[in-house]
Structures are given as structure tokens and as C-alpha cells.
Structure 1
Amino acid sequence: MLGHFQLQSLNQEAEISFLQSALEVEGQFIRTENVVKWVEEQRNALKIDINAIPFNKLNKWSFHPETGNLVHASGKFFSIEGIKINTNWGNVPSWTQPIINQPEVGYLGIIAKKINGILHFLMQAKIEPGNINYVQLSPTLQATKSNYSRVHEGNAPLYLEYFASKKGKVLLDQLQSEQGARFLKKRNRNIIIEVTGDIPMYDNFCWLTLGQIKSLLQIDNLINMDTRTVLSGISFGSYAVNGINLVDKLVHRSTNEESHKRQMLITALDTSAALHSFEEIISWITSLKSTYDLEVSRIPLKDVQKWEKNENELYHEDHKYFSVIAVDVHISNREVVNWSQPIVKSAQEGIIGFIVRKINGVLHFLVQAKIEAGNFDILELAPTVQCLTGNYRKGLNDYEVPFINEVLNAPKENIIYKAFQSEEGGRFYREQNLNLIVEMDERFSQEVPENYCWMTLNQLYTFIKFNNYLNIQARSLLASVTF
């Protein structure tokens, strides 16, 4: 379909392969409509038992006698520690809080392979202890350094060797951040490797096109966050107007096809109609980083203020934000089938939303520059609205949430995307957030507060290529965009 374009580089070849795969909503091995049933079969084939337990029933985990930090006996995996924050951003200049400290860089890796000329992705039906529905579609490899170095004394993760020794052509390789409000400067290696020969197949793995995965993202809590963050790093290339028009005609042969998909394809590929240049956006980010301070100090967990602990839970005195609980886990197909661990439990579901509107004839996304305590470099680009751990309803939050009413009260016909999506189930307990992309018309002002900026999807894809620009909530939501 896209062979009309002259390939200028291997990178452009990969971008075209990704775009072809994104446009294929049916794969070679399983029909999209049958994936949910296949996932349910994987769930029913396993023995799963996950229960909340008191902290003193944790195996190899304990509160350190001096610091009060919740730590593993090996000193690996992760710990629950305290931090103190001082900032001139927002209405609260200083506070303390618990945070997950996991300094290891883990693998989030997907194996890809061309099957009948179309790139397919090897997806895993994986159970995590915090998954709201137990089994979700995960990357081929999803492993912390403690996991793949076998600190747990269990089996090595499947397919690890393909990523550790790069047995294939690297299509994507990025360091990307985790949740800045929950993790202290945590990053994972997001990587996609293309193979050509036969590879072993296991019962809980399947090949899907990118178009199939994006279709499945319309279903609540089916595609896990790690899959979403890896796929968000995919760029589909940049073209002039004539090239985009040709792609648009080839893809959307009928002018009656869904206009949102057509508009998303155009904003994903266009380089000519952006409101702000790349240099202007860099200057905007630099100015904010120069204006606002974020001083984060590690402190003992026992010194965190306004947080209390009983035998079952570490929680905020007002029962806001999140708590830390303990779980005992039995999952029959994991590298270790039984373990216990701390896990973070949200106080309530949140909302993540992008506002989009046409500017210069092309859809632009309203992006927020957001400071969070665990950010690697002060701020990251976030969705228009991001309320994860505070109640976003009026009068119940510590601060006003700009544009929350526009997102929550959007007419049905203006909603491009709406689904509940889970946070990562290895560290977060049954947490889901409402994800929305909402289109506004020209009555919605182009003038926005200083920490907001209009960007095309093509510009967002460009920034994702570089470390620590887009936060995980923005990347997760962008993964849902279909053409």
C-alpha cells in the first residue's frame, strides 16, 4: 500500500512497516474479535489466588528498624521510602510522602516479525497481582533487573535472550519514565526487536498486528500499561501535504469513513501545519524548567508526615491519594509461583484526558507541562487533564483542575476515545483510570495557561523518541489513537 514512497533510511522503512501494521485490523493468526475469548481461556487455565495480608505476614519483606522503610531482605526489587519535596510550583510548596524506590532499569520488550509482509507483535497473556481482571495483554518480555537476574531464585523470563543479546533488528530502543507521583526517578527500557526466523511459541503468547492491538485498546482493561508505553514510542514518519493526501486516499477510500481516524492520520504524519515549531516548544519547556524548582530529598519512611500505619495498611490521615498494602500471591505459570509483596492501592479511580481541536486545519493536542515528585528532570509533558491520586470532583481536591469540566461534560459526539485502562499491575492494586480524548471546536480558545501548549501528534511522537519528555499517562493515552 505504501510502496510509493522512496525509502530514505532504515528508520523510514521501519516507520512504514509500523504504519502498515497499524492499518491492519485483522492478523494472520487470530481474529480480533476472538482475542478476548482467548485471554479468558488463558485466565481459566491457571490457578490464581491473590489476597490482602497483614504486613507481618510478608515473606522476606519488613520495615527497617531504623528508617521504617519497607524493604526486601535481598536489598533488591524495590522499597517503600519517604521523600520531602520543596517547590515553587503550584499551591503547596512543601510536603512529605511515601514513594516507590526502584532504581533498576527493567525491560519492556516486544518481539516483532513480518508475517505475509505485515509486522506482527508477540504479545503475552500475563497475570500481575494487581491487575483488575487478572490477565492482560503484555509485552513479550516484562521484567525488572531483579527478575531477570533471578534474585527470586526462580526461572529466567521467556525470550530474555532476544533482548539481552539483541537477537534481531532493533526497531525501537528508549528509556522511558514511570509514574512520577509514585516512583522516584524510575525508568524502563522500552524496546522492539524484529526477528526473521522461527522462534519458540508458548500457549500464553500470540501474534497480533498493531492495528489489532489498537482496536483492543477500545476495550476496558485489556491491554496493560507496559504494552501501551512501548507502543506509544512508535513513530509513523513525517510527510509533506502531497504525501499525506496520498496515504489518506489509500487508507480511507470512502469520504464517509470516520473523520476522526482520518484526522488522526493527518496529524500523525503532518510536519507543515503545527501552531508551534519544534524550537519554540523546546524553548517553552526550557523556560518552565528554569522558572520552577523541584527539590526532592529522601527521608526515612517513619519521618513522613500525615501518613499513618496499622497492621494492614500505610495510609494518608485523610484517606486520600493512595495507600500501601500487602498481598500474598499464587499464580501457577509465573517464574515463581508463590510470593508476597507490598503494593500501592489508589484511593479512587482517576481521569486522564486529552483535549484536541483543529488549528491550521490539523488536530492539535493540548499538552500540560506537569511537575511530579518523582520526575527525573523537574517536569514532563502530560495529558490536558491528569488526576490519578486525588479526587477530581469540585471541592474535594487540594487544587483546581484546569479543563476538567470540558473533559467530563463533553457531548458524546465529541468523544473520540473513552475507555477505562489499568495502571501497571506489578506495583498498583486494581487501579483503573478513565481515559478520554475529546474534540473541541473553534470556540475553545487557542490561548492557554503558561504550562499548556498545543502540539500535533507528529510532534508528540517526535518528543517521545527522547528520554523524559512525555510522561507515562500521556504515552499510554496516545497509544490508543487509531487511524
Structure 2
Amino acid sequence: MEHAPTFVDTAAAGRGAVLDRERADPRDALLGWLAERAAARDLQVERTSFADLEHWSLDGTHGAIRHDSGRFFSVEGLAVSTNHGWRREWSQPILLQPEVGFLALLVREVDGVMHALVQAKVEPGNLGKAQLSPTIQATRSNVLGVHRGHAVRYIEHVNGTAPGHVLLDVLQSEQGSWFLRKRNRNLVVEVQEDVELHPDFRWTPLSVLRSALLVDNVVNMDLRSVISCLPTTGRLGPVDDGGPVVDERVQALRRSLAARPEPDHALRRWVTDIRSRRELVQRLRPLSDTASSGWVLGEDAIEHVDGKYFSVFGITVTASGREVGSWSQPIVAAASPGLLALLVTQVDGVLRALVQMRTQAGGFEVAELAPTVHCQPANYADLPESAAPPYLDVVATADEGSVLYDSWQSEEGGRFHHLQNRYVVVEVPPSFDTSQTPEHRWVTLGEIGDLLTHENYVTIELRTLMACALALAQGEHP
């Protein structure tokens, strides 16, 4: 792990002790700073009825929960039909946020080591109050000042009014299970000049930032998305040729990340073929219409009659250090944790991952590349075995020695309340049979990385696992 100079303000007494801690364990120092920033911020979240949500109301004409400004997001009903999966038609509540959000990470090279400017961001739905986020994490409404709060810090480096060199700029989708056709703009901008540091921001080496992904619920969803889109080689890559000698699995992982796509772009053609055959029809409906699929619209919450899937309820928030000090909003909570698992195997010393083409209710595309297993296991407990996702049993019965990565990671705390999923990477033998699931495919991580330079090929969940793979490629262990 690199040991780069600290950027913490140490003008006060104790400079030597702080520097010693930084050099001894940069990741612990980063996590310690995050805990300090969380303790310094006051955050109060109270659950409230829909009727008591300030500036929000149930639009009787459209049967949706909307903000008075018409901006931010709304909660609406969605009717879905598809020709894929065990369930072909259903309706559900969905978050509609048509504006594109900004996820921007400022980077700077210091003494040959690339650093990123991360933010200790407090969100009402976070586990642990504050999590590491990109330099800029904002909706377009925030950027335009619709909330009438403080300006978004460092936005000048995105809108071109301050110097900066754009290294990455790509639109990526968000969770298709809960958002309708939602996308964010993922950016990495290199700066040369000093930037004025706010106490909630910190420069940290990219290697240290990646290693934080080995800790539960520290790196938020949006930062994981940006990290996953970084190049896997070169100045922003996790390892260079001739790096430290590591075990066989890590070497196979590094070779996989470095692998280039096939000349005939077989993976893209496979994606295109499935998209051309699969159907996804999305129709907005009043929230009351979701009752046909078991959803109950109450005064305090929208919930499923079976206690499955997710719920929507209202919260009132007061928070110090935010653009706005208090507000209220609807928020989504999962009924049970999700499982995002990637099966991998070694072929000729190169790690290959088993991905699937997954269709989601609110997907921007008819299907995107997703982990081998993507589900809430509790939703299938009372269903026939045939309804369970392929390979769920393989992950559930995996022995400890085959697990390369296993952690809990939170989803974005601005729209989701204490929503965490288990992310797992499990190694299987090369003889593992996948012939019965033609819509799964073995690929290298380099092929996935190539698609991440294009829009809407890879789900946010698979992007998280790619970010975790970049952390493992450094040769560290969870």
C-alpha cells in the first residue's frame, strides 16, 4: 500500500502523532477521520406519515407522491410486462427521478501517487451516519439550487469554470428494481492546482480508497460506481506490471483485469442478441393500481401484503453541514437484505466471472450485465424451487476456502433507508457446469471493464463487485 503525504490539516498541536498514524496504517487513518466527521455532524431522522411530509403531497390526479417544486423525485406506480423469468407481469411502486445526477471524483498526483478527493457524506438512510462518497454527489436540482441551500462544493470543476482535465465521463444506470430508467453521470477530473479543503473532504491515495472496500458499509454506492469505471491499468489502475509477488488467485485476478476484449467483440454481440429477443414494457400507473399485485397504500407506508420486497415511508430530517439543514422526503427500505454473488473460475491462469443478463422493472435498457446471483433470498423462501435464481444454492453452500470476497455494502442513503446487501465472490472449479443457463456467460474482468467505458451495459451491483475486485487486485485480504 502506498504511503503518501497526509493532506489533513495538522497545523494544531499533535502534528507528529497524526503523521505517525497516517504512515502506520493509512486505511485506519482514513476510517478514523470518517468516524470523526460523523461524530462532528448532528443528524436526526424521524419517521412520519405521508400527510406530514413538508412540501410533499399525494397527487390525486396522477396517484403519485410528488414534491411541490415538481423536481427531485416522485413515487409512482409502474406496470411491468416481460417475456423473461418466472414472473411475466406485475405492478409495483417505483421512484421516478428523470434528471441525471452528478457523481464526480477529483484526482491529483502527489509524488507519483494518485490521490482522490473524497467526502464524508452524511445521508439520512446511511448505516453509520457518514460514508465515503465522491467529491460531488448531487442531483441536477441540487446543482441548480432548487433546494435553496448552499452551493454544491467543487461543482466548478465539473461545469468548466475551474481548471481540470476530464479522465472519465460516462452515464451509468442505477438500481432498476427501485428507480425507473435512472442514470448518473460518472466523472473523474484531474486537477493540478490546490483546492481549498472543507473539513468534510480529504485527499487519500486511490490504493487506500480501494482498500476501504474490504470494510463493511464504508464506501457508499456512488463512490463504488465511480471507482469501478476507472481504468484497470495505468496511473489509475490498482497494480502495475512487476508488482509484488502475490498468491495465485490474485495473479489470476490481475490477468483477468488486464485482459482485452475479443477482436470480434463477442460479449457486446451476445448482449445485443439477448436485448433484441427480450421484451420489457414499462407503463406508469397511479399508485392505487399496484393493489392488484399486493401493494397496500396506507397513511404511513406503502408495503406489500406478503411482507416482501420493500416499503416506502416518510421521514423528517435535520442535519448540520448539509446544503439544506432540514427537510422531509419519502424513502425506500428493503424488507430483507439482498445477495449479490459472482461465481469465478480460473482458466489458463486467468480468472473468469459468470455474469448474467438481468431484466429489472425500472431498467434503462431491457437487460444489463449483472452478477451471477442477484436477489433477496427471503423472497423465495415460500416459492417452488424452480422459481429460485440459478446458482443461489451454490453460493449458499460455498465452503469458506472458496470465498474470495464477502462483505456488506450499503446502497445510497439519500433514497434508501439502512439498505445493505451482501456482496460475495465465490470460486468454483473449471469443470463447473453452466450449460443449462444460456443467459449466463463466462467473461474476463477486463471485458467488463471495457463495457464500463460505455453507457448502460453493467448494473450498479456488478459495478460494485468490479470495484471490490480492484481492491483484491492490490493483494490485500478482507
Normalising by the residue count of structure 1, what TM-score does the alignment of the two structures yield? 0.89
Query: How far has the Cα of 1:321 moved from its partner?
Result: 0.5
Q: Identify which of 247, 250, 255 aligns with 1:258.
A: 247
RMSD: 2.0
Residues matched between the structures, number? 447
Match in the other structure for 2:16? none
List aligned pairs for 1:87-166, cutoff 5 A.
Answer: 87-165=82-160
Match in the other structure for 1:14? none
In 1, the alpha carbon distance for the partners of 2:264 and 2:209 equals 30
Match in the other structure for 1:33? 28
Describe the superposition over 1:16-40 as per-residue Cα deviations: whole angstroms up to 9, x where unpaired. Answer: xxxxxxxx44432242122222111
List aligned pairs for 1:187-226, cutoff 5 A.
Answer: 187-226=183-222
Describe the superposition over 1:186-237 as per-residue Cα deviations: whole angstroms up to 9, x where unpaired. Answer: 0010000000011110111111122111111111000000000011111224
In 1, the alpha carbon distance for the partners of 2:385 and 2:70 equals 36
- In structure 2, relative to structure 1, the CA distance for the partners of 1:394 and 1:259 (3 Å cut) is farther
List aligned pairs for 1:49-64, cutoff 5 A.
Answer: 49-64=44-59
In 1, the alpha carbon distance for the partners of 2:307 and 2:68 equals 29
Q: Identify which of 425, 434, 446 aligns with 1:458.
A: 446
Identify the range of structure 1 (296-305 vs 112-121) with the bigger mean alpha-carbon deviation.
Answer: 296-305
Query: How far has the Cα of 1:459 moved from its partner?
Result: 0.4
The answer to whether 1:386 aligns with 2:374 is: yes
Residues 350, 391 of structure 1: 8 Å contact kept = no
In 2, the alpha carbon distance for the partners of 1:226 and 1:162 equals 18
Describe the superposition over 1:117-153 as per-residue Cα deviations: whole angstroms up to 9, x where unpaired. Answer: 1110000000011101110000000000111111111
- In structure 2, relative to structure 1, the CA distance for the partners of 1:278 and 1:213 (3 Å cut) is farther
Indicate the SS of the match to 1:232.
helix
In 2, the alpha carbon distance for the partners of 1:258 and 1:440 equals 17
In 1, the alpha carbon distance for the partners of 2:224 and 2:381 equals 27
- In structure 2, relative to structure 1, the CA distance for the partners of 1:299 and 1:398 (3 Å cut) is farther
Query: How far has the Cα of 1:408 moved from its partner?
Result: 2.1
The answer to whether 1:281 aligns with 2:267 is: yes
- In structure 2, relative to structure 1, the CA distance for the partners of 1:325 and 1:438 (3 Å cut) is same
Match in the other structure for 1:302? 288
Residues 99, 182 of structure 1: 8 Å contact kept = yes
- In structure 2, relative to structure 1, the CA distance for the partners of 1:333 and 1:368 (3 Å cut) is same
Q: Identify which of 240, 256, 261 aligns with 1:267.
A: 256
Indicate the SS of the match to 1:137.
strand
In 2, the alpha carbon distance for the partners of 1:389 and 1:147 equals 36
Residues 288, 297 of structure 2: 8 Å contact kept = no
Indicate the SS of the match to 1:216.
helix
Residues 370, 379 of structure 1: 8 Å contact kept = yes
Describe the superposition over 1:390-423 as per-residue Cα deviations: whole angstroms up to 9, x where unpaired. Answer: 6355748992111112112211111111100001
Describe the superposition over 1:343-377 as per-residue Cα deviations: whole angstroms up to 9, x where unpaired. Answer: 00100111101000012331101001001111112
Indicate the SS of the match to 1:358.
strand
In 1, the alpha carbon distance for the partners of 2:116 and 2:348 equals 35
The amino acid that maps onto 2:406 is: K
The amino acid that maps onto 1:179 is: Q
The amino acid that maps onto 2:98 is: P
Match in the other structure for 2:171? 175
In 2, the alpha carbon distance for the partners of 1:292 and 1:446 equals 20
Q: Identify which of 454, 458, 468 aligns with 1:470.
A: 458
- In structure 2, relative to structure 1, the CA distance for the partners of 1:390 and 1:186 (3 Å cut) is farther
Q: Identify which of 289, 294, 312 aligns with 2:300.
A: 312
- In structure 2, relative to structure 1, the CA distance for the partners of 1:82 and 1:390 (3 Å cut) is farther
Identify the range of structure 1 (69-78 vs 93-102) with the bigger mean alpha-carbon deviation.
Answer: 93-102
- In structure 2, relative to structure 1, the CA distance for the partners of 1:397 and 1:111 (3 Å cut) is farther
Match in the other structure for 2:345? 357
Match in the other structure for 1:291? 277
Q: What's the % identity of the aligned pairs? A: 37
List aligned pairs for 1:289-438, cutoff 5 A.
Answer: 289-304=275-290, 305=292, 306-388=294-376, 391=379, 393=381, 395=383, 399-438=387-426
Match in the other structure for 1:10? none
List gaps (5 residues or longer) in structure 1: 1-23, 239-245
Residues 323, 344 of structure 1: 8 Å contact kept = yes
Indicate the SS of the match to 1:222.
coil
Query: How far has the Cα of 1:435 moved from its partner?
Result: 0.5
In 2, the alpha carbon distance for the partners of 1:26 and 1:190 equals 27
Query: How far has the Cα of 1:261 moved from its partner?
Result: 2.2
Indicate the SS of the match to 2:389.
coil
The amino acid that maps onto 2:136 is: L
The amino acid that maps onto 2:31 is: V
Residues 252, 349 of structure 2: 8 Å contact kept = no
List gaps (5 residues or longer) in structure 2: 7-21, 474-478
Match in the other structure for 2:15? none
In 2, the alpha carbon distance for the partners of 1:247 and 1:476 equals 22
Residues 100, 139 of structure 2: 8 Å contact kept = yes
The amino acid that maps onto 1:263 is: A
- In structure 2, relative to structure 1, the CA distance for the partners of 1:49 and 1:106 (3 Å cut) is same
Indicate the SS of the match to 1:251.
coil
The answer to whether 1:72 aligns with 2:72 is: no
The amino acid that maps onto 1:160 is: I
Indicate the SS of the match to 1:266.
helix
Query: How far has the Cα of 1:388 moved from its partner?
Result: 4.3
Identify the range of structure 1 (218-227 vs 203-212) with the bigger mean alpha-carbon deviation.
Answer: 203-212
